[in-house]
């Protein structure tokens, strides 16, 4: 494997409409992964594209981003919060994973943020590998002063999210970051950390990455979530599979981490949440 071959694969990925706006860290990581497995740049490029589709392209495409940009651009400068919220709801319906959350998101946020002491006590929310999730802000009930920090792989997506934060009047920022390439910046922290439907994608790329990420996070409340069915609508035992995976992660984190967390399960038909709450050293964890 040579640097020149990796550079060639990166150039091919950047030339494609589908992956041109992914962060350079992601493209280089995927190119190195593919080149380690394929002798030619051509076959490595095909493998990198296939992997990127599996972990990103199947969820959000360039056409989706174009439609989102146009929807936000169509809002008049004088648009009120109701109009911005209506645009956000329309954007969420473009993606199956986001659309299925529409029916229960207010109930979920209320229960989640109650575990953090209520929205009035939350100063920072950190949304990792956020996707379209920041567009649910109109239903979270957070104070406009709460810092909402969101990162994702795609520079175009994070620019759109940054614009939405400004339109909604929410403090915070969005930036491009690859969770598998480097650690989060020092100022990327939150009273609540959201990892919604994220860990399965990380594990498909690098086994063991979920535990390493959880061990690196210092937050009173970490929220994991997993789908109950595939994008095609099949359940395939996913609820049981991810329940076992989440509980194993908590057990391993408590065995290896410097602090301990308890785990509360919050189940909805379309998505299961796991609330990891930091406990003091003398506080007994629930069985």
Q: Which of 36, 57, 78 is the last residue of a domain?
A: 57
Residue 79 and residue 188 in one domain: yes
- What is the pLDDT at residue 147? 98
- What is the pLDDT at residue 217? 94
Number of domains in the chain: 2
- What is the pLDDT at residue 281? 45
Residue 7 and residue 142 in one domain: no
Question: Does residue 253 fall inside a structural domain?
Answer: yes
Question: Does residue 153 fall inside a structural domain?
Answer: yes
Residue 232 and residue 121 in one domain: yes
Q: Which of 57, 77, 92 is the last residue of a domain?
A: 57
Residue 42 and residue 90 in one domain: no
Residue 100 and residue 144 in one domain: yes
DSSP for residue 265: E
Whose structure tokens read 């490029």? 45
- What is the pLDDT at residue 228? 87
Residue 258 and residue 156 in one domain: yes
Average pLDDT over residues 145-166: 96
- What is the pLDDT at residue 58? 59
- What is the pLDDT at residue 279? 77
pLDDT one-digit tens code per residue, 76-124 = 999 999 999 999 999 998 887 788 889 999 999 999 999 999 999 999 9
Residue 91 and residue 148 in one domain: yes
- What is the pLDDT at residue 226? 95
- Of 37 and 259, more confident: 37
User: 81: domain CATH number?
Assistant: 3.40.50.150
- What is the pLDDT at residue 235? 62
> Cβ(199)–Cβ(193) under 8 Å?
no
- Of 106 and 235, more confident: 106
Residue 45 and residue 170 in one domain: no
Residue 18 and residue 147 in one domain: no
Residue 206 and residue 95 in one domain: yes
pTM of the model: 0.92
Question: Does residue 158 fall inside a structural domain?
Answer: yes
- What is the pLDDT at residue 286? 41
Question: Does residue 238 fall inside a structural domain?
Answer: yes
Return the closest-CA partner of residue 142 out of 158, 157, 127: 127
Question: Mind giving me the DSSP string for 48-79?
Answer: HHHHHIIIIITT--HHHHHHHHHHHHTS-TT-
Question: Does residue 286 fall inside a structural domain?
Answer: no
Range of the domain at 25: 3-57
Question: Does residue 287 fall inside a structural domain?
Answer: no
Specify the DSSP element, H or E, that contains 23: none
Residue 66 and residue 140 in one domain: yes
Q: Which of 57, 84, 102 is the last residue of a domain?
A: 57
Residue ranges with strand state E in 27-171: 124-127, 147-152
Backbone dihedral region of 155: left (phi > 0), alpha (psi from -120 to 50 degrees) or beta? alpha
Average pLDDT over residues 165-182: 96
Residue 68 and residue 53 in one domain: no
Q: Is residue 2's pLDDT more than 80? A: no
pLDDT one-digit tens code per residue, 60-78 = 778 889 999 999 999 999 9
Specify the DSSP element, H or E, that contains 262: strand 260-267
Question: Does residue 284 fall inside a structural domain?
Answer: no
Q: Is residue 132's pLDDT more than 60? A: yes
Return the closest-CA partner of residue 40 out of 6, 69, 83: 6
pLDDT one-digit tens code per residue, 50-60 = 999 888 765 67
Question: Does residue 242 fall inside a structural domain?
Answer: yes
Least confident range of 5-9, 74-78, 257-261? 257-261
User: 11: domain CATH number?
Assistant: 1.10.8.10
- What is the pLDDT at residue 282? 44
């Amino acid at each position: 494997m040579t640097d020149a071959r990796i550079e060639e694969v990166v150039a091919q990925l950047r030339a494609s409409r589908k992956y041109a706006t992914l962060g350079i860290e992601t493209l280089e990581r995927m190119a190195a992964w593919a080149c380690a497995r394929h002798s030619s740049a051509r076959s490595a490029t095909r493998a990198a594209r296939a992997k990127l589709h599996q972990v990103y392209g199947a969820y959000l495409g360039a056409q989706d981003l174009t439609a989102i940009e146009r929807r936000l651009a169509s809002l008049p400068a004088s648009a009120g919060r109701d109009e911005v919220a209506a645009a956000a709801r329309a954007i969420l319906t473009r993606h199956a994973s986001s659309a299925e959350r529409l029916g229960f998101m207010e109930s979920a946020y209320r229960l989640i943020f109650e575990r953090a002491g209520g929205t009035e006590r939350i100063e920072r929310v950190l949304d990792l590998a956020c996707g379209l999730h920041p567009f649910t802000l109109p239903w979270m009930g957070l104070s406009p002063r709460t810092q909402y920090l969101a990162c994702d792989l795609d520079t175009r997506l994070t620019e759109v999210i940054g614009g939405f934060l400004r339109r909604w009047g929410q403090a915070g920022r969005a930036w491009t970051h690859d969770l598998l390439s480097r650690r989060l910046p020092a100022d990327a922290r939150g009273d609540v950390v959201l990892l919604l439907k994220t860990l399965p994608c990380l594990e498909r790329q690098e086994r063991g990455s979920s535990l390493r990420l959880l061990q690196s996070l210092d937050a009173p409340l970490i929220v994991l979530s997993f789908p109950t069915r595939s994008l095609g609508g099949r359940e395939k035992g996913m609820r049981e599979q991810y329940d076992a995976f989440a509980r194993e992660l908590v057990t391993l984190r408590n065995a290896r981490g410097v602090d301990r967390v308890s785990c509360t399960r919050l189940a909805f038909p379309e998505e299961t949440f796991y609330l990891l709450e930091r406990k003091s050293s003398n506080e007994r964890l629930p069985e």
